[in-house]
Amino acid sequence: MLTLWPKFSLIDQITKVKVFRLKSLQKITLGARVVGDRGQVFQSHAHFIADKHGQVDVCRDPSVGGSYRGVSAMGLLWSMIPAPGQRKGIRLIKSDVTKPYNFALNCFDGHISPQESSSSKPLSSKTFEKGYMVNGVKRIPVKEGRIRGTLFLPPGDGPFPGVIDLFGGERGLVEYKASLLASHGFATLALAYIGYEDQPLSPSSINLDYFEDAANWLVSHPEVLSHGIGMHSICYGSWIALLMASYQIAAIKAIVAISPLVIAYRHPFQFKGRVSDVIPPNDSRVQSSEKGSIWRFAFSTDLDYMNPTVSKYSAITPVENINCPVMLVSGTDDLNIPAEFAANFIFDRLKENGKEHLCINLLYPQAGHIIEPPYSPLCDSSFNRSSKEFGGDSYAAWGGETGAHAWAQEDSWQKILHFLRKHLQQKTESGDEED
């Protein structure tokens, strides 16, 4: 009755769901459930009406109620929310990329709620897997000098285009985007820089020399194309990636900056023995909400008075110096940082210097801060240690309207992959990219 194909696929690929042998125009509910790596439970449900042949095709037929409405092949995934009875601020995030998520899908007669489904017997049940690593991806822990992280190599013979993935300012090592990029053909280094192994939990500054060392190490790796690498980054990581390009670290040939930052707000950075200025946020402008602290308005966007001291780098990233292609991804409902301002600032500075051809600026209405690979559930609020340490409460509000955010993730991800392939693939003698 309930069919799924394929049994396993990457998190950013479609799982086709169909229901057969129903009555003509029968009402059904499909309910999905997954248990995360830390035991957190997420769920969704959608109401469908069978066609005259007694069939439902989730890729074709609209949901008429439930967690989402309309036609969306993966709506049951991106519309997931935490199941009731759990602590506030949980997030579905992959900590063990070697194991896929196991999703349970149930088909119930009639249009019912999740609460009603818990006491109802399903007509049919199936499971399917969604992961971040395809067979053949190699996961290699990296401890080279002071460099800490994990290198993911694609299946097959290299060398491959190289990418460094930088997460936001949270502590530890996050691997799920790097492993997914490797599954799409990129040799990707998930690079840790705060609170991992012997790294300080609260660094006094961000040392750009460390990231230059990591870039040089990756570009010289025998499995990586030697003409240069890209950066895939979000939030605090995007600030670092944009600094690397602005100070023209030679290995950097392309930047993807999601929810970008262009000002040293929390920490100064240091590079080649010099330290930057800092423009700290105005904590009195942090707003409280049911979801958590809204930090967006605490960060100044008035750049007129921001002049560096003679001995220091400016707190404002000199993005006008960037000479490599840049893709910016931001949402208008980002409640954490002024990402839309930063993206427009970067584009305008490049345009003033005749470099607008280098910049793609993707701005998504009603998308929030945490723009993930496709079909990831919206995280509009979560526990955040940094928010508490810097004067907010223990939870941060990230923003985003569920459907609009889902579209931003689906649309931007394909453009990100195309952008990285275009600018990092090996060039042939004729100047064309290799297939």
Best CA proximity match to 188, nearest among 157, 153, 240? 153
Which tokens in the block code for residue 354?
């005749």
Contact 119, 105 (CB under 8 A): no
C-alpha–C-alpha distance, residues 418 and 161, integer Å: 12
Find, among 374, 377, 289, 369, the residue nearest to 40 by Cα: 377
235 is catalytic: yes
406 CB-near residues (< 8 Å, 6+ apart): 72, 75, 78, 79, 374, 375, 378
Q: Which of 12, 165, 333, 334 is catalytic?
A: 334
Residues 6+ apart with CB under 8 A from 432: none
Prior bond of 6 cis (ω within 30°): yes
Instruction: Please report which residue ranges of 353-401 form alpha helices under DSSP H.
Output: 385-389
Separation of alpha carbons 6 and 76, rounded Å: 16
Identify whether 334 is a catalytic site residue.
yes
Report which residue type is found at 274. R
CB-based burial label for 220 (10 Å; 0-12, 13-18, 19+): exposed
Strand 27-35 relative to strand 160-166, pairing: unpaired
Instruction: Please identify which residue in the block is written with the tokens 């993935």.
Output: 165
CA distance 107 to 272: 61
Is residue 379 part of the annotated active site? The answer reads: no
Report the half-sphere exposure of 209 (CA within 13 A, side-chain side): 9
Of 47, 232, 267, 369, the catalytic one is 369
Q: Which of 235, 324, 359, 379 is catalytic?
A: 235
| Catalytic (active-site) positions | 235, 334, 369
